[in-house]
Amino acid sequence: MPTLDEIAATFLSLRWHHAAGVAAWEQCAGAADFLADCLAWRGDIPVSMLDLCSTIFNELIENAYLHGGEGEVDVCVGRLDRDVVCVVTNAVAADVDGLWTRLEQAIEVPTGDSLVSRVMRNRMADMDQAGLGFLTLRIDHGVRLGFRITNDGPRERHVLSTIARVETRER
């Protein structure tokens, strides 16, 4: 079993500064594509998984921008056993309880009417998205998601860590 330091040494990391309220969606997609290309180039993922990995990375990075406060956005991707892993860490805006509720709802797998109800409710609330990104990753691609919100005491801010794992496979 490799040590945490050995695992970390094989992962790729990016960090950039995010200004609160600024959502640079092109940066999200560009970073996601770059990281997926690097993993494929290193042989960590089969080329057939490029699009899926880019989509996963993009969804997590966009989530950091959507819910983030001002500060650094850290993205770390790599291979752990048979899984591709992506961890995105960022400062979050003030309403931590509301964010936690939205994150729980984002990964809850609704059925039939409740799925349609969620999409319609989000659309009627003038949300930019229907809230289906994480749900689609889970249902269509078998991505496992996890979230952690911690308090960064010295800076008196909260930090969100989002992790996604998907098994590598040829398609």
Tell me the domain boundaries of the chain: 4-167
User: What is the helix, strand, coil percentage profile of the chain, to 5?
Assistant: 50, 30, 20
At 72, which helix (H) or strand (E)? strand 68-80
- Banded model confidence at residue 154, pLDDT cuts 50, 70, 90: low
Rounded Cα–Cα distance for residues 14 and 20 (Å) = 19
128 or 124: which leads in pLDDT? 124
Q: Which of 161, 158, 110 is nearest to 131 (CA)?
A: 110
Sign of CA dihedral 68, 89, 107, 11: positive
- pLDDT for residue 4 is more than 50: yes
- Yes or no: say if 160 and 147 are a contact pair by the CB < 8 Å rule: yes
Q: Which two tokens stand for residue 111?
A: 């059925």
The whole-number pLDDT of residue 5 equals 67
Residue 104 above 70 pLDDT? Answer: yes
Distance of alpha carbon 76 from alpha carbon 61, whole angstroms: 11
Burial class (CB in 10 A: 0-12, 13-18, 19+), 152: exposed
User: Which fold would CATH assign to domain 4-167?
Assistant: Heat Shock Protein 90 (3.30.565)
Confidence band, pLDDT 50/70/90 cuts, at residue 17: confident
Residue 83 in contact with residue 165, Cβ under 8 Å?
A: yes
> Does the pLDDT of residue 88 top 70, yes or no?
yes
Per-residue pLDDT at 167: 92
- Closest residue by Cα to residue 167 from 106, 39, 80: 80
Q: How confident is the model at residue 49, as a pLDDT?
A: 92
Q: How many CA atoms are closer than 13 Å to the CA of 36, on its beta-carbon side?
A: 21
Who wins on pLDDT, 131 or 32?
32
pLDDT-derived band at 132 (thresholds 50, 70, 90) equals confident
